[in-house]
Chains A and B, each alone.
Chain A
């Protein structure tokens, strides 16, 4: 085989997953090739122009804590920031940024273009090449060029054999009129990796000037300077507003009258779509009693007229879309620039993967992002980063990065995918995380930055700053636990009255006082300031560590219990569970499919009962004993 070039790692796909993978790989010194269908569309946001929100922002914080790209680029290109769920508790505060999607893509390209070790090539991957032993050796492009590789990361997003559907119009295409990936799916099939269709959709894009924004409710941002990135370099772009409006009963009627033209109902679309992201026609049909649905107008940039109609994803025919859009309050004269569409694309079953995101069938072949059945930029980026790191670590002969369910949302995401698979496009929710009080966006750095540093994605300088931050938080918490508040102090008394708190009958520890809901960290710090004033973000963390100490402790106890099962590893050689006497046939099938790493993971496979786990445990113990006896004998 003639290779144009040989790389250690080739990443196929330049979306949010592929770019994180390529970035991590090149940054860690691997010779890396990023192959993309369109050079200009690297880092494209083909759907909503925003990053973050509940659970998704947690993912972005974690990506940043590990040294990934998404957080800092989102900060740089944000045009509105908002903290969601402020009143709903510390575990679920979530930052969401509206993004200038053109600049986002541009900034990602800049980062990658300037990265040593990384080559970027435009082209369509056709075949994954293996030698006669079945080992991965490289890829061939549709144009006939071949590139050699030790590892390949597939991040094909929604491009794999994809088709775009609007009414009865069907076109073989990727999103946004980009070419799809025509050949790769059958190459996967030849390797024994099966695919099936998923579906998603996007709403129409409209010209800003055709909107009557005075008829809508303005939705401003509230946290311009709050950053995903640890380095806290915010953007400097002008900030914009979003707008809230509603569908009308007329909209409902138009949709009901035309529902037979929907490809979802006519049978053109067979792929499974996400329940949390239904098209507007789905919402109208499934919730007929709801006469009006709300919609958000989201600008796609501060200097761009194209706006995104959030909540109005549709695949009805173009003429119907125009009527529908114009039946919305404030959109009566709306001019559609791009029609909404549904897109069907091929995904693999993620239970084919190890927790490292490497294929079980084809060593050194990794899968990341939407091809694994997820949806969302953040979910994709998180997987890209982990796949990239693991591809590198394996080539270096080092231990893989496997985050647990109690380490981060990334851990929950990958464990869910690989252990349970998914029957619809998988989106991260905070409710998927059992230990979410411990997985706050505010402590993502504490949880993951040391790991990022050990791997080599976090610089010495940043690590030093990180350690200082941790120390100052810890010292401040300790100080407040020791500090006695003088109940006779006039300033203290005044503060207590002002906070509407109950009188202090005697001296009290500062930490105990902060546990009162009406007293904040700042109330105390203003009277008893720390030696070194701490930053706002540090103060926020100090306060919640004190206020929610009891709940945090409860969750730590739960994690301790949970991690015992996670630490009980299942040995590599156990790859056919039929050898275990006493397992049910269903259990054998499931275990053979997932090949869990630990007893804990095995217990989460759907259909695996506690009884199966006991049989498994006994078998493993038996074998261990046999081995010890043999050694002794």
Chain B
């Protein structure tokens, strides 16, 4: 049973380091990698086993995530004994998680603790002496996993998911009650319109939870922050000012993407992984051009862009072009006007979304920090952050089932028994987070809500 799903996971520690590896194992491994990987060389098409291919991986919108090495290993000649793909990415947790997301979207299931090893065992890749040890590990893992999951579920997240399930099963109970008890008086309080509105509300809630996944992840792994601005605008002094007060663990990270990460800074609960960039300006210099190209690449993967402007110069033409570029992206950015100590602030037309600082004199830094916090920590979702990819995955499943349901109900032609299929799928997806029995929940709900019976 377990063997038949294709599973995937990040198999290197989720910290910033030179390289991060994702392994996909199972019948569909090759199919999945085909969907997300663009090889530079056409020899990839031959899919030779135990060969390494260079290329890029992409998210579902086709945006490039990273340049990677892909290893193909055909079963049974792999660790698990199944068709296996390993993707060697740059060791950036953000990129790895994004890559995982697109892999899961394409049909893989996130592996459970020890599952690759277990498959290796079940497929005869490990010998019997090793298996006892595995058995022990698995048992231990379960107890640990149980504790972890209980801890995670305690409190508001559990309540939140519980409330969503409650709402959903109310609707299912209505549909099912009208089907299973056609003679009974089921209050017709749920017209299609009412159901639709309630599903929309549910989808809103699920979307909020999904969004909180990013917050949760951000708190855990830090925000990819890119500082941009013209040369000499004061990027380094701002960095130093922030560092003086908030120095976080500094790790010098090798690797191409990581080259640019200079520092990590704590702001409250948040960690900024700061990438400093070459100053941008019109240039003929080839090296500078490359630097500027890189700047744009960083902006592409950034979660926060701090855009520094020199207050003594105001918005230059280059600044304005950059600003227009930023506005088109759906990304968080903050415009910071530096060197306000050198001008008379009243001379400048102020605007709410510009923060005035003097990096040199360390003024205005608190405003900057507060703005960053405001961007990433939203009070309403702080209570129930999703930081676990498995929950995220379940919520995505629930969401896509509800999306299907909405399409069906809008068409006005799909009968109740089929509508219920999508709602049931959504419920079961939510129930995998909390672990409940659908049929029992449903019957309880029907019998407590509707007066039924011969």
Contacts and interface: CB of A to CB of B under 8 A. Distances in A.
Interface of A: 48, 53-55, 84-85, 87-92, 94, 274-278, 283, 286-287, 290, 293-294, 296, 310-311, 313, 429-432, 436-437, 517, 548, 551, 554-555, 561, 564-565, 568, 581-582, 599-600, 606, 609-611, 613-615, 617-619, 621-622, 625-626, 629
Nearest to A294: B185
B416 interface: yes
B417 A313 contact: no
29 contacts: A48-B454, A85-B179, A85-B417, A89-B415, A276-B447, A283-B451, A290-B451, A293-B185, A293-B451, A296-B183, A310-B454, A311-B454, A313-B454, A429-B180, A437-B417, A564-B4, A581-B139, A582-B139, A600-B1, A606-B437, A613-B1, A615-B138, A618-B121, A618-B135, A619-B135, A621-B122, A625-B124, A625-B128, A625-B131
A431 B183 contact: no
A294 B182 CA distance: 13
Given A296-B183, A618-B122, A437 B421 contact: yes
B313 interface: no
A437 B128 contact: no
Contact of A283 (B121, B128, B416, B453): B453
- A-B interface, 8 closest residue pairs, ranked by CB to CB distance from nearest: A89-B415, A89-B417, A517-B413, A611-B142, A582-B139, A275-B447, A91-B417, A565-B1
B394 to A, nearest CB: 14
B317 interface: no
B145 interface: yes
Contacts of B183: 84, 296, 310
Contacts of B249: none
Contacts of A564: 1, 4
A565 B118 CA distance: 17
B148 interface: no
B134 interface: yes
Given A599-B1, A618-B135, A276 B179 contact: no
Given A277-B454, A294-B185, A581 B135 contact: yes
Contacts of B315: none
Contacts of B451: 278, 283, 286-287, 290, 293
Contacts of A296: 183
Contacts of A430: 176, 179-180, 417
Residue among B134, B415, B421, B454 with the highest chain A CB neighbour number at 10 A:
B454
A88 B131 contact: no
A551 B425 CA distance: 13
B61 to A, nearest CB: 26
B151 interface: no
A290 to B, nearest CB: 6
B2 A614 contact: yes
Contacts of A565: 1
Contact of A88 (B4, B417, B439, B442): B417
Contacts of A283: 451, 453
Nearest to A56: B180
Contacts of A600: 1
A87 B1 CA distance: 38
B193 interface: no
Contacts of B146: 611
B418 A431 contact: no
Nearest to B172: A431
A54 B121 CA distance: 47
Contacts of A617: 1-2, 122
Contacts of A310: 183, 454
B194 interface: no
Given A283-B451, A310-B454, A311-B454, 6 more contacts: A275-B447, A276-B452, A277-B453, A277-B454, A431-B439, A629-B128
Interface of B: 1-2, 4, 112, 118, 121-122, 124, 128, 131, 134-136, 138-139, 142, 145-146, 176, 178-183, 185, 411, 413-418, 420-421, 435, 437, 439, 442-443, 447, 451-454
A89 B418 contact: yes
A521 to B, nearest CB: 16
Contact of B145 (A275, A606, A611, A621): A611
Contact of B182 (A54, A293, A432): A54
Nearest to B173: A431
A518 to B, nearest CB: 8
Nearest to B417: A89
A80 B135 CA distance: 61
A568 to B, nearest CB: 6
Residue among A290, A429, A555 with the highest chain B CB neighbour number at 10 A:
A429
A617 B131 CA distance: 12
A543 B435 CA distance: 38
B121 A621 contact: yes
Contact of B176 (A294, A431, A551, A625): A431
Residue among A94, A565, A599, A622 with the highest chain B CB neighbour number at 10 A:
A622
Nearest to B1: A565
Contacts of B417: 85, 88-92, 430, 436-437
B443 A429 contact: yes
Nearest to B420: A431
A622 B122 CA distance: 8
Contact of A92 (B112, B179, B447): B179
A522 to B, nearest CB: 18
Contacts of A610: 112
Contact of A582 (B136, B179, B437): B136
B453 A276 contact: yes
A615 B139 contact: yes
Contacts of B443: 275, 429, 431
Contacts of A286: 451
B160 to A, nearest CB: 23
Contacts of B2: 614, 617
A431 B421 contact: no
B81 to A, nearest CB: 12
A551 B135 CA distance: 41
Contacts of A313: 453-454
A88 B178 contact: yes
Given A430-B417, A622-B128, A615 B1 contact: no
A432 B439 contact: yes
Contacts of A561: 4
A218 B179 CA distance: 22
A313 B454 CA distance: 7
A632 to B, nearest CB: 13
A313 B453 CA distance: 9
Residue among B128, B415, B447 with the highest chain A CB neighbour number at 10 A:
B415
Contacts of A294: 185
B257 to A, nearest CB: 36
A88 B453 contact: no
A431 B444 CA distance: 12
B334 to A, nearest CB: 45
B27 to A, nearest CB: 12
Contact of A626 (B121, B122, B128, B180): B128
B447 A88 contact: no
Contacts of A54: 179-182
A177 B128 CA distance: 66
A431 B1 CA distance: 25
Contact of B179 (A274, A275, A431, A555): A431
B118 A618 contact: yes
A412 to B, nearest CB: 10
A429 B418 CA distance: 16
B169 to A, nearest CB: 11
Residue among B112, B182, B417 with the highest chain A CB neighbour number at 10 A:
B417
Residue among A88, A90, A600 with the highest chain B CB neighbour number at 10 A:
A88
A148 B203 CA distance: 65
Contacts of B452: 275-276, 278
B116 to A, nearest CB: 13
B379 to A, nearest CB: 36
Contacts of B421: 437, 551, 554-555
B453 A87 contact: no
